[in-house]
């Protein structure tokens, strides 16, 4: 093989590898986004259907807010 054809083959291989990497990254980004969205939907559903869990979350949020505003570690 001559040198120019080897360089062209290497260039085509590198471009194909970059295209595949970009495609895989695109797909993974979409899959992660879908998984996070489903987790958020499931969390909201769980809070909606379990009042004790919602009350516990509200108490914890109020405690964090009180600790943040008053610098009191007890909440």
Prediction pTM value: 0.56
pLDDT digits (tens, 9 = 90+) for 2-39: 566 787 888 899 999 999 999 999 999 999 999 999 99
Residues 6+ apart with CB under 8 A from 75: 62, 63, 64, 66, 67
Is the residue at 36 inside a domain?
Answer: yes
Phi, psi of 73 (to 5 degrees): -65, -20
Is the residue at 75 inside a domain?
Answer: no
Quote the number of domains for the chain: 1
pLDDT digits (tens, 9 = 90+) for 37-62: 999 999 999 989 999 999 999 999 99
CA distance 57 to 62: 9
């Amino acid at each position: 093989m001559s040198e120019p054809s080897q360089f062209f083959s290497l260039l085509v291989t590198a471009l194909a590898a970059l295209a595949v990497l970009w495609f895989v990254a695109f797909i993974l980004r979409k899959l992660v986004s879908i998984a996070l969205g489903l987790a958020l939907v499931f969390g909201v559903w769980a809070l909606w259907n379990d009042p004790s869990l919602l009350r516990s979350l509200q108490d914890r949020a109020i405690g964090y807010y009180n600790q943040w505003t008053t610098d009191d570690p007890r909440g």
